[in-house]
Amino acid sequence: MSDLPLKVRADIRDQWDSPKAAIHSTIDSLAQTLGHKVVPQVQWALLYNALKETFPDKTTFVPTISRIVIALYERLLSRIENEAHTQWTDELLEVLAKKPPGSEWPLQVEPCGANSSARRPRVTWKVDIGAFYLEVPNHEPPMHAIIDSGFDQDLDALFLAPGSTAAASLDDDDREEWAEVTTVETRTALPMGRVLPPNPPVSVSMGPIVQRLPTIETLARPTELFKVTPPYTLIVDASTSPLTVQGSHQPSIELLANYLKKWAKIDSNDSLKRPVLKVSLVESPFYFGVVDSISIEPTWTLSRNKEPINPSVVLAFIEGVLGYKETYTNGMRWVFKRDSILK
């Protein structure tokens, strides 16, 4: 690993190889429940060289890979503990029964192929090798919920032959990949040569489905997490001076502030030619380095007690340009939300 950047090597040592790393407690939790240990194996130089364009900030590379792997273990653990997936768990145990209890199974963590159009991590089961494969795309990792949902789709189809009816549960990219493949109705990874029914069985309601909360280690730092985690929220408060705009999505806050600054009206009576309104970005008290508010007030101190600032332009920008939708107002305070991701 000598050809890896120093920061990447230090993170591998501290956040992956170290017995105190979060990945090891997750591996142990799954092993205790499953009775078999699934061990992640990574060729770090190969993985980094394939994905380094996605990680110009080297400090995020190993933590991101760790979060993705931990997310997969959490989805496996959640599925095994869920009675609604008892049949799937039995199938998994049949496959793992090829080795004695307590044995280890590899999870190969590799980059997606050069021609892959995948935009999220994917997990598969390689029958001939007897190993789990986790492929990481050379693409900005999606939000946590999308990763979890994608892993659930992959696990549903884990032991099904490509092109089988499991393709119906995959996302749009997967459906396009298998659109021209002849349908195969047999399972290839399971013993006894069992046949898949023409249609996947409909899950029978067995009471509330228990979902596991994400572990703290699977969540990205605030500067990244809230960029890709909708719904985004913006709150405009014109009841106080200064007028404030608070939000969870920093790029939205910055774009609004920069637009107001660019087209700001200059006070012709001011010898310093300052704008009539002072627009300031405010750092969040929750997180270092995160901007979550805009403060808008008259530049001149003596003018602060005059007429309140008209928020109409701000409201129009939020709905018309940023695409947020109003969810609440009392005439002086407005709450907006946006469900889709902004780039």
Q: Binning pLDDT at 50, 70 and 90, where does residue 210 land?
A: low
Q: What SS3 state is found at 342?
A: coil
pLDDT per residue over 69-127, tens digit each? 999 999 999 999 888 889 999 999 999 988 888 889 999 999 998 778 888 999 999 98
Q: In the chain, where are the structural domains located?
A: 6-219, 225-338
Q: Where are the alpha helices (DSSP H) in the chain?
A: 6-12, 22-34, 44-51, 61-81, 86-96, 144-156, 172-177, 222-225, 250-262, 312-320
If one counts every other C-beta atom within 10 angstroms of the C-beta of residue 52, the result is 15
Who wins on pLDDT, 31 or 174?
Answer: 31
In the chain, what percentage of residues exceed pLDDT 70? 81
* Helix H or strand E encompassing 128: none
pLDDT over threshold 80, residue 303: no
Average of per-residue pLDDT values in the chain: 83
pTM for this predicted structure: 0.65
Q: How far is CA 51 from CA 55, 68, 107, 135, 218, in A?
A: 7, 14, 19, 11, 19
Most confident of 91-105, 158-172, 310-324: 310-324
Helix axes 250-262, 312-320, angle to 10 degrees: 130
